[in-house]
Amino acid sequence: MAQAYKTDSGNGSSESERSGSRLRLRLDRWRRDRGIWRRGVVLAVCAVLLTLLMVFHAEIPNTVGNLGSLTETFLPWLGVVGIPVLLVMSLVRRSATALVALLLPAIVWLNLFGGLLTDKAGTGGNLTVATHNVNAENPDPEGTARKLAESGADVVALEELKASAVPSYESALSGTYKYHSVQGTVGLWSKYPMSDTRPVDIKMGWTRAMRSTVTTPEGEVAVYVAHLPSVRVKVNAGFTAGQRDDSADALGEAIAREPLGKVVLLGDLNGTMNDRALNAVTSQMRSTQGAAGDGFGFSWPAAFPMARIDQIMVKGIDPVSSWALPDTGSDHLPIAARVEI
């Protein structure tokens, strides 16, 4: 047995030596290969173009198919997908030039989104809010409502409410939320008194936004709920977001006129914080995910979230933490945030 053990150990050592020898041979070939800097020029150019795309995304015009907004919607994925692909191709090509060039987009991506990779959530806060696009075709509105009530949120906003399903949501949420109002296809449920509740005109021809004053123990807060128009990617028209953009401008104007100093916006904005088309809103409010979230907090589509188009934003209020809630059966994930009034 002892002899067998020595033989096994010897074989293992020999195999380790052979592996190390093969690695040294490969590295030696790389050092002696004078074409290592000549190969992969095209890959290096692609890395530079990817860098320019991320740095100057705001300069991409929206005049043709809203290409700029489309790029900004999925901006993080340019690096998440593009950099690893170029890395693998550079290694296969054995190109030092491409590998060095690849540092450019990597550095830019980390500068743009590296802060989202860390957990910025804090402790404390005195108001928890949540928002959820429940999907008009939701097969189980009662189940969705119960999951939201179990989240512990003090205020819950719902979007894409189907008229026939409203009684189901009202019944399931009534035990947790004493106050509520439904305006068109959006609604607000609150544990605290609501007043001055009214629809907000976002230039759609029907009601998909509202505001209400919620009187919390710490004071009055103006809570807005909005569901901006959907966007589509069409071969012949590009990123069709014209109506969404007009509604975003109208929503921004309404919030700018709000007399209360403390404002919370909850809703499906059908756009990310990077999308310049939402500037009328994003320029005057803070994203709870960007300020106090953990990760990107993608909310859509629920099966494989690729973008955060559902937003919780605040004005005159400090974000403490922000997170995505578990799947409820909708095509969106609900999101929640804890804030300090």
Q: How confident is the model at residue 5 (pLDDT cuts 50, 70, 90)?
A: very low
Across the range 81-94, mean pLDDT stands at 94
Give exposure, 209-225, as e/b (b: 16+ Cβ within 10 Å).
bbbbbbebeeebbbbbb
CA dist., res. 142 & res. 307, Å (int): 26
Give the amino acid at 90.
Answer: S
Question: What percentage of the chain reaches a pLDDT higher than 90?
Answer: 72
Q: What are phi and psi of 121, to 5 degrees?
A: -65, 140
CA dist., res. 169 & res. 107, Å (int): 47
Choose the weakest-confidence range: 1-5, 101-105, 140-144, 275-279.
1-5
pLDDT in tens, 286-323: 999 999 998 899 999 999 999 999 999 999 999 999 99
Which among 118, 170, 119, 180 has a CA at the least distance from the CA of 144?
170
Instruction: Please report which residue ranges of the chain form alpha helices under DSSP H.
Output: 2-32, 41-55, 67-73, 75-93, 96-101, 103-113, 141-149, 166-173, 242-256, 279-282, 288-292
| The token pair that represents 158 in the structure block | 């719902």
- Residue 294 DSSP code: B
Higher pLDDT, 196 or 11: 196
Question: What percentage of the chain reaches a pLDDT higher than 70?
Answer: 89
- Angstrom CA distances, 292 to 68, 85, 125, 130, 253, stand at 27, 31, 12, 15, 26
Domain boundaries, the chain: 33-117, 127-340
pLDDT exceeds 50 at position 43: yes
CA dist., res. 210 & res. 101, Å (int): 49
pLDDT exceeds 50 at position 133: yes
Residues forming a β-bridge with 232: 240
Find out if CATH 3.40.190.10 is the number for domain 127-340: no
> How confident is the prediction for the chain on average, in pLDDT?
89
In this structure, are strands 263-268 and 286-287 parallel, antiparallel, or unpaired?
unpaired
Residues forming a β-bridge with 209: 226
Q: How confident is the model at residue 11 (pLDDT cuts 50, 70, 90)?
A: low
pLDDT in tens, 211-248: 999 999 999 999 999 999 987 655 554 455 668 889 99
